[in-house]
Every structure is written in C-alpha cells, then in structure tokens.
A and B are shown apart, each in its own frame.
Chain A
C-alpha cells in the first residue's frame, strides 16, 4: 500500500473512530463507516491539510469511498 493510502486510512480511522480493518478501499464513508455529511466535509478538510492539496467542492462531492480519496490525492500529487 502506498504512503498516501496509509495516511488516508489513518486519518479516516482517527476521525471516524472506526476499526482499522473496516477501512477497506471500497468502504463508503457514509454507508459503511457511519459518517454523516459533516464528517465527510471534515474528512476532506483533514485530507487537504495533511496532503497540502486543495480539493474543490465538485471534486469533494465525488469522494465517496476510501479509494476515491486515495485516487484523487495521488492524482493531485502526481500532477
């Protein structure tokens, strides 16, 4: 697993207070990890801060799963 993926996972575990084993790539923040809309906004802000990237509103709306977040941040970092 990439360094970015590790860090994303850690932030999700910390923020949502869920078991690490539940934070699989396909896990949906809302449906599987019990996040509400405010949690998802806070998660996006935590990602922005941790990775020093800006995630615009329309991109943030599309980040529904752990993998979505990892892919988006990896693409930003590669660019």
Chain B
C-alpha cells in the first residue's frame, strides 16, 4: 500500500518541521524527492540525512514570482524526470490584529502562501494534464476554516488554497490529476515552540486526542493523498487536527 516507487515529488518549504517530515515520508515510500526552500545549507543537511540518490535540492525564494514560475522546471531537471507529485507546503505568517496589520503584512502572506502555490500548480499542471497523471497536495491550516484572531492574512490565504484547489480539481479531473488539501491543526514545530506554556496547555485542552500533532501526523496524510490508493479523492480537505475542529 501507498508505494511511491518511481515517482518524483517536489516539496516546498522542506526546511521546516512539517516539510521535513513530508519529504522524509515520501522518500520512505520510494519517491525521488526534490527539496525546496530558501535556506540552502538547511536543505543540504536535510538531503544528507535522507541520503542516497533519490534526493535533490533546489533553493528558491517563493516570494519572487519568477522563482515560483521556474521551480517546477528546475526540479524536473535535477530529478531527470517529470514531476508526479507537488506538495505546496511553504508558507509564512505575519501575525497581528487587523487594526495594526500593514498592507505589507497582508500582501506578503497572500503572495507566499496563496499566489506562489497557484504559480506552482499552474506550472505543474501543464505537464500533468498532458501525461494524464499527477497529484497536487497543498498544506493549508485549520484556521482557514475556523479563522483566528491575529491571522486575518494567514487565514485568508489558507482558505484561498481550499477554493483554488477545488477549482483546479474540477479543471484537471478529466485527466486523472487530483488536487487536495491537508489542513493541520496545532502541530509541534519551531513555529509553535515559542508559545508560552500556559497557552500551549490551553490549546492541548481543546484537542480531544489530548496532544499536539507531530509533523509526521501531517506527512502521513500527504503520503495517502499522493498515492495511487487515493485516485478517487479530489478537491477534498483532509483535516489533521486531533479533533480540535470537526469540520
């Protein structure tokens, strides 16, 4: 089950906690993985940790539209084969209450978290539609559905990913290409490490499964959606949040 042998996967944001787990699990299932991110030295470390020949690195800053535009082609070049799986995982936050939120905070998050995944989808779809095969998985967030004070920009971008995915899923369905979303809840990463303990406890208290999620919880959902076994699932959002929001 869930074999990804002979598949080529591109994972953006592979320097982050969730991106690392996604790349590692796809690799474990047999995929050739292309790790992308902004920090080249971290990418090199990640690639070395995975080891072997099925790992490649392409540094790219997705806040640059041209970089996003070219990333798929660069990934295919280093992997030496067309892309089968695209995982839009890269994202950033610029949290603040709306009355203090600057246009720059808004547009940077929309640009990196929503516009760049669109550019990557567009670039990947051209080949996938022709080849009549492909999997695109975008990592959103529970806050895209529930909203979250201080994250108007991030929640808008993540909700946007869901609407975009559903539209593209309808466009690509006749070619057997699927697009889905994984929406993580509260995951233990460097991003959430900085929260005060009291706030963490409160958050965990609101999770029926009684713990924070791990990057691997998210990665396993991605592996499923990337697999042949998920061939009849498209336009869906898989919530991985320990039951915090049952939606």
A contact residues vs B (CB 8 Å cutoff): 36, 38, 42, 45
Interface residues of B in 103-150 (CB under 8 A from A): 126, 129-130
Most buried by B among A36, A38, A42, A45: A38
Q: Is the interface of A mostly helix, strand, loop or mixed?
A: helix
Q: Is B171 an interface residue (CB 8 A)?
A: yes
B130 adjacent to A38 (CB under 8 Å) = no
A46 to B37 alpha-carbon distance, docked (Å):
31
| Residues on B with beta carbons closer than 8 Å to the beta carbon of A38 | 129, 171-172, 174-175
Q: Are B171 and A42 in contact (CB under 8 A)?
A: no
A42 near B130: Cβ-Cβ < 8 Å: yes
CB distance from B138 to the nearest CB of A (A): 21
Cβ of B134 to closest chain A Cβ, rounded Å: 14
**Residue contacts A-B, CB under 8 angstroms, 9 given:** A36-B174, A38-B129, A38-B171, A38-B172, A38-B174, A38-B175, A42-B129, A42-B130, A45-B126
B positions within 8 Å CB-CB of A: 126, 129-130, 171-172, 174-175
Contacts of A45 in B (CB 8 A): 126
CB B164 to nearest CB in A, in angstroms, measures: 17
Across-interface contacts of B130 in A (CB, < 8 A): 42
Cα separation A45 to B122 with both chains bound (whole Å): 13
In addition to A38-B174, A45-B126, 7 A-B residue pairs with Cβ atoms within 8 Å of each other are: A36-B174, A38-B129, A38-B171, A38-B172, A38-B175, A42-B129, A42-B130
Nearest CB in chain A to that of B130: its residue: A42
Query: Given the complex of chains A and B, what is the CA–CA distance between A38 and B177 in angstroms?
Result: 13
Minimum CB–CB distance from A30 to chain B (whole Å) comes to: 13
Report the bound CA distance from A38 to B129 in whole Å.
Answer: 9
In the complex, A42 Cα to B171 Cα: how many Å? 12
- CB proximity of A48 to chain B, nearest CB, Å: 12
Q: How far is the CB of A10 from chain B (nearest CB, A)?
A: 16
Report the nearest B residue to A15, measured CB to CB. Answer: B130
Q: How far is the CB of B179 from chain A (nearest CB, A)?
A: 14
Specify which chain B residues have a CB less than 8 angstroms from the CB of A36 in the assembled complex: 174
Q: Which A residues are CB-close (under 8 A) to B175?
A: 38
3 shortest A-B CB distances, which residue pairs?
Answer: A36-B174, A38-B174, A38-B129
How many Å lie between the Cα of A42 and that of B128 in the bound state? 12
Closest to B175 in A: A38
Give B171's nearest chain A residue, CB to CB: A38
Closest B residue to A45 using CB positions: B126
Shortest CB–CB separation between residue A44 and chain B, in angstroms? 13
**Hey, which chain A residues are within 8 Å of B172, CB to CB?**
38
B239 to chain A, nearest CB (A): 30
Report how far A42 CA is from B177 CA in the complex, Å.
Answer: 15
- A38 to B171: give the CA distance in the assembly, Å: 7
Alpha-carbon separation in the docked complex, A36 to B173 (Å): 12
- Min CB distance B175 to A, Å, is 7
State in angstroms the CA–CA spacing of A23 and B224 once bound together: 42
A12 to B174, CA, bound (A): 19
Closest Cβ–Cβ distance, residue A33 to chain B (whole Å): 16
Chain B nearest CB, measured from A66 CB (Å): 21
